[in-house]
Amino acid sequence: MNPKRHELKPDEQLIRKSQKGYQILEKTFGLPEWRQPLSALDELVSTILSQNTTDVNRDVAFTRLKKKFPNWETVREAPEEEVVEAIRPAGLANQKAPRIQAILHQITEERGDLTLDFLSEMGRQGAHDWLSRFKGVGPKTAAIVLQFSLGIPAFPVDTHVYRVSGRLGLRPEKMGVENAHAWLEQLFAPEQYGPGHLNFIRLGREICHTCKPECPRCPLNGLCDYFQNLQKPVNCPA
């Protein structure tokens, strides 16, 4: 379960540093917006499809799924192999298809129909905990549905956000990705969660690569612990 906010407390200096980093990224990349908002259930399925693949492959798989099946009820009742075939471009289709169908069955059993709109009335922790019970729904997936579909502020931490925040020194180095969600939420204002998430991802994709980060041209190098120290080599294949 995602830790409650009061269990973790960054100090004022770190909050100021985070704010400075946020402002620099906004000046550099602008104020990004999420793609076309989806319903909460559509966003949940789309985010499950996005796991371990690219945005392009996720979108291809999601479009194929929506084209093949007229609604979520027919996805739920379809033979598993038909769902696997539809979402194959997203990869791990044999794992993702049964997970999606199990979630659709569970929502139907508990709620009587296939919608997640009721979550917007549950508040941040309630909606997060409700979603997190499903197999295949971790803190990042839950936070994406909250932030970008339900309008409940949450800071999703994907692999880029986790790596960049660690190198910058915005979180304790050994903090796990689950705890990083609650931690980063205390460094930024709720209205900064969406743009901050997107700009950190962009920085991670374009400059702060897993291997060979391009520190000399990074707009945040003046704030970055990794760049200041440059004492820990990045382990990359030769």
Q: Catalytic site residues?
A: 140
Q: To the nearest whole angstrom, how small is the minimum distance from the Cβ of residue 215 to ligand SF4? A: 3
Smallest distance, ligand SF4 to C-beta of residue 53, A: 24
In sequence order, the 6+-apart residues with CB closer than 8 A to the CB of 93 are: 61, 84, 85, 87
The residue among 157 and 208 lying less far from ligand SF4, judged by its C-beta, is 208
Closest to 201 in 3D by CA, of 144, 154, 163: 163
What is the closest distance, in whole angstroms, from the C-beta atom of residue 20 to ligand SF4 in the complex? 13
Is residue 218 within the footprint of ligand SF4 (CB under 6 A)?
Answer: yes
Do the beta carbons of residue 177 and residue 194 sit within 8 Å? no
Cβ neighbors of 213 (< 8 A, separation 6 or more) are 167, 207, 226, 234
25 binds ligand SF4 (CB under 6 A): no
Q: Which tokens belong to 104?
A: 């659709």
Least Å distance, CB 233 to ligand SF4, is 12
Q: Which residues, 144 to 203, sit near ligand SF4 by CB under 6 A? A: 164, 167-168
Residue choice 30, 87, 221, 236 for contact with ligand SF4 (CB under 6 A): 221
Number of chain residues interacting with ligand SF4 (CB under 6 A): 14
Per rule CB under 6 A, is residue 227 in the interface with ligand SF4? yes
Would you count residue 226 as binding ligand SF4 (CB under 6 A)? yes
* Tokens found for residue 196: 């901050």
Of 32 and 98, the one with the shorter C-beta distance to ligand SF4 is 32
CA 191 – CA 196 distance, rounded (Å): 9
In whole angstroms, what is the distance from residue 8 CA to residue 20 CA? 21
**Residue number with CB closer to ligand SF4 (111 or 205):** 205
Q: How far is the CB of 163 from ligand SF4 (least distance, A)?
A: 8
How many C-beta atoms lie closer than 10 Å to residue 230's C-beta? 10
C-alpha 153/C-alpha 98 separation (Å) is 29
Residue 28 touching ligand SF4 (CB under 6 A): no
Residue 151 near residue 43 (C-beta atoms within 8 A)? no
Could you tell me which of 235, 192, 227 has the C-alpha nearest to residue 211? 235
List residues binding ligand SF4 (CB under 6 A). Answer: 164, 167-168, 207-208, 213-215, 218, 220-221, 224, 226-227
